[in-house]
Amino acid sequence: MADLARPSPVKNFGAFLVCLALCAAAGVIGSAATLPEIPGWYASLQKPPFNPPNWVFGPVWTFLYILMAFSLWRVWRAGPNAPGRRRAIGLFLAQLVLNALWSVVFFGLHSPAGGLVVIVLLIGTLVLTMRAFWPINRTAAHLLVSYLVWVAFASLLNASILWLNGP
């Protein structure tokens, strides 16, 4: 496992803010596609009995995006010479794009079937990201576990909504 580099506190904080901004951008894109559809299209769908109330999603995603930012920041701090760092960050960014894309497809396009395809790709890419983070910084990989669990739960919700409502 690579040691954390020791950049200046200002650079360190700046790097964390960039990581946080990237994760927040995914959240903003997802929210822009999701929020307008909750009172209309999403409310009209049949949902499984284990579907959480709508108010749960905002706080959960906020917490997860913060954990994701810390995770990315820890890998970033490993330094440019850390083996596998570039690939690990690339995988992280790919899963972040898939994260935002899911909301656009599921909510924006009203496509539970398309959303299921995207979320399965997201889970696979997230697992690859965690595996790539592990040798660089194990804490960074651990910080993504709750995100993986939540996305797995979201995939179950997505599949259930598809089953109950059709494509």
User: What number of CA atoms fall less than 13 Å from residue 61's CA on the CB side?
Assistant: 20
Do residues 41 and 160 make contact, with C-beta atoms less than 8 angstroms apart?
no
Containing structural domain, residue 136:
9-165
What is the model's pTM?
0.92
Does residue 4 sit within a domain?
no
Residue 112 has pLDDT above 70, yes or no: yes
Residue 1 has pLDDT above 70, yes or no: no
Residue 8 has pLDDT above 90, yes or no: no
Does residue 3 sit within a domain?
no
Count, residues in the chain: 167
pLDDT in tens, 114-133: 999 999 999 999 999 999 99
pLDDT of residue 23: 98
Does residue 76 sit within a domain?
yes
Q: What is the CATH number of the domain that holds 116?
A: 1.20.1260.100
Does residue 22 sit within a domain?
yes
**Total number of domains in the chain:** 1
pLDDT in tens, 136-162: 999 999 999 999 999 999 999 999 999
Distance CA 90, CA 132 (A): 10
Does residue 21 sit within a domain?
yes
